[in-house]
Amino acid sequence: MSFLFAPPQQAVIPVQDERYEFFPVRRVYCIARNYRAPGEAQPEAAALGSPLFFMKPADAIVPVADGETFALPFPPMGENLRPELELVACLSKGGSNLTVEEAEAAIWGWCVGFDFARGDLQDAAKRAGAPWETAKVFDRCAPVTHVRPAYRAPMPAPADIYCYVGNEKRQAGNTSQMLRSPAEVIALLSTYWTLEPGDIVFTGTPAGVAPVKRGDRLMGGVNGVGQLKVELV
């Protein structure tokens, strides 16, 4: 097989504390509105309605080593940049119409990620009922920590999730506040698409999302999984 030009490099995420092991990224799935507000009761499953899923391209993923800070260029075409700190599930198995138990067994490991969005473009898309791609997708818009194998992480036990901008805590929650658990999210995804090894799933973000500006330094994490640092330049 010959190519007209060199094919793009495979997107990968290093495995935490393993020098020569890498998780190959196939697809990046995300879910919107998957956390209830602090103090809000868990609604009945029938009241949740259909989930809102969207995707980011695999080359949006940027792995960031523990202790390092990723310098993210502030994106063009928008000034209202919003970081959403999320727990990310990394799959080593796939399939269609998975049960929740099968979905949980498909999770090889976990990482922490920022789902960045151009908030002004997203708000305009919502008002127009238009797609979110211009808001949710730009170069290097999804930095993540290295993947922590599931057997070394506390999931699915509840864990604190947080995000600081400078010294100000913007987001504070717990994974127990998810409207749908990661396994439930994955099972629902598998009714829309056939999942495959290498797929990763951003599982939603807690309350407190607010715009950031150039020069801001972000630090977010999920206890037992990892901590992620980003500076906007």
What pLDDT, in 10s, does the model give residues 141-164? 999 999 999 999 999 899 999 999
Global confidence as pTM: 0.96
Q: Which of 226, 195, 11 is nearest to 106 (CA)?
A: 195
What b-and-e string marks burial along 60-72, b requiring 16 or more CB atoms within 10 Å of the CB? bbbbbeeeeebeb
Cβ atoms within 10 Å of 85's Cβ, excluding its own: 26
Distance, CA of 114 to CA of 214 (rounded, Å): 16
Domain boundaries, the chain: 12-232
What pLDDT, in 10s, does the model give residues 105-154? 999 999 999 999 999 999 899 999 899 999 999 999 999 999 999 999 99
Superfamily of domain 12-232: Fumarylacetoacetase-like, C-terminal domain (3.90.850.10)
What pLDDT, in 10s, does the model give residues 198-223? 999 999 999 999 999 999 999 999 99
Mean pLDDT of 167-181: 96
Q: pLDDT value at position 47? A: 72
> For residues 124 and 57, is the Cβ–Cβ distance under 8 A?
no
Phi–psi pair at 14, nearest 5 degrees: -60, 150
C-alpha dist (Å) from residue 102 to 105, 142, 217, 225, 230: 5, 27, 38, 22, 34
Q: pLDDT value at position 40? A: 79
